[in-house]
A and B are shown apart, each in its own frame.
Chain A
Amino acid sequence: MTYTKRLDGRKFDETREIEAKVGVVKNADGSALFRFGDTIAIAAVYGPKALHPQHLRDPERCVLRCNYDMLSFSVAERKKPGPTRRSQEISKVTEWALSPVIDLENYSNTVIDVHITVLQANASTRCAGINAAAMALANAGVSMKELVSSVSIGKIDRKKVVDLSKEEEDYEEGEGATDIPLGFTKSGDICLMQLDGKIRAEELKEVIRTGKKACKEIYEIQKKALEAVGEEI
């Protein structure tokens, strides 16, 4: 049986319902919430601030520290709280995805902390986290080139789909499922790409094209959320 219709009835190039909100954490310098259907992530940015211990300071640029965390109630089976191998990896790729757009040279010897918390997880949590973090960084008044948008593209059996859900990620018939989280800057450069599974080279090119298109839509939503918080002021 081939995958001809998506499990939740979406179109193949349709994301789940997206919600973006800026300024959700009062005590942070900048914060944002991003939701893909049932996946909810909030990001809080603190800094630029003095970095301690001092030997970690970089006199040429600012240190960007990302911390991705899934709350214990975010998944159906209770997750043991605290950092895991998985969360450490995601923190690191988030850092790599965000650092090319931030003007790190402007804030030498300091640190910017980005805390991403997943309140509810249903696949694509790192993408939701990056989208929230990009908005939170802008909200914190950090000097940056542009925003980053991220979406996961999947290959399910032989079909390319945008924004996988947990059910789709676990699809096992035919060629199975491959999840490819992608991140793009506004100007279209890739800043995140991970791939677990099998895919042909031509198929990957197609995946990147669809990802770019989906990210453009996400970018508009991020932009609108930032404009909305500015209107309030």
Chain B
Amino acid sequence: MSVDKKTVKQKSEETETEKIEVKRKITIPGEKIVSGRDFLPGEGTIREGEDIVARRFGLADISGRLVKIIPLSGTYIPRTGNIVIGRVEDVTFNGWIIDLKAPYSSFLSLSECSRYIKGDLTEYYNIGDILVCKVFSIRNKSIDLTIKGRGLGKLERGQIIYINSNKVPRVIGREGSMIRIIKQETGCEITVGQNGVVWILGNKIEDELRAKEAISFIVSKSYIEGLTDKVQDFFKNKKEEK
């Protein structure tokens, strides 16, 4: 994953001007994006003869030879390795059912719990608790979660906001640059779940609200160039207002 990101980054620097033009193009299912054997069909695209054809509505992204679609809308579809934030929906005899705002139900097994648990499971996580989990396997469309690992576990304080899951990469930014700015400027602890659930915890409620505002700013202004600079300006303006 990290290797992937780096190569993409290098490519984008090389072909910056070229990329901007193509990047803006909106794809419509069934419409040709590019043609030629040189290109490889990526996510959301399919090869039909010589052409690469879009399979969903979004923005075409051509980085090097790979053509893929950046989705603008759609429900969250879980992937292995995703960090997600969910709510305990039900407690069974051997685990918890977690609501991830995804079309499939997800299960956190007792054996994937970091602590040794004995007796009543509701004493550990009860219905309504918010958990940070990691998707560790997807079998037959049933999602298994784990809570073993750093940064995973139950969230006790702070607040939760819901955003469009397709905007999560924008909120995090390239290698976490965007989220780092927000954390620095507000002093909040922030966890962004890939399913579009964001948890914010600050020292003061004002800090949390500022972080919340910044995130909704990113969500509304996503897909414009140089968004990180815009967010920095956003915080500068906020300070001046004070």
Q: Does A18 reach chain B (CB closer than 8 Å)?
A: no
Contact with B along A145-163 (1 / 0, CB 8 A): 1110000000000000000
A231 to B59, CA, bound (A): 10
Size bin of chain B's contact surface? 20 to 34
Binds A, one of B5-13, B28-36, B121-129, B172-180: B28-36
What residues on A are CB-neighbors of B104 within 8 Å? Answer: 50, 109-110
Q: Does B81 reach chain A (CB closer than 8 Å)?
A: no
Contacts across chains A and B counted by CB atoms under 8 Å: 78
Q: Does A140 reach chain B (CB closer than 8 Å)?
A: yes
Size bin of chain A's contact surface? 20 to 34
Closest approach, in angstroms, between the C-beta of A232 and any C-beta of chain B? 10
Q: Are B55 and A103 in contact (CB under 8 A)?
A: yes
Which of B28, B56, B72 has its CB near the most chain A CB atoms (within 10 A)?
A: B28
Given the known inter-chain contacts A138-B56, A233-B222, please indicate yes or no for A110 contacting B28, CB distance below 8 A.
Answer: no
What residues on A are CB-neighbors of B58 within 8 Å? Answer: 141
Among the listed B56, B73, B103, B223, which residue makes an inter-chain contact with A144, where contact means beta carbons less than 8 Å apart? B56
Given the known inter-chain contacts A47-B103, A50-B103, A110-B104, please indicate yes or no for A227 contacting B26, CB distance below 8 A.
Answer: yes
Q: Are B71 and A141 in contact (CB under 8 A)?
A: yes
Q: Does A84 reach chain B (CB closer than 8 Å)?
A: no
Which residues does B use to contact A, with CB under 8 Å?
Answer: 26, 28-31, 44, 55-59, 71-75, 103-105, 140-141, 166, 222-223
Which residues does A use to contact B, with CB under 8 Å?
Answer: 29-30, 47-50, 59, 101, 103, 107-110, 138-147, 185-187, 223, 226-227, 230-231, 233
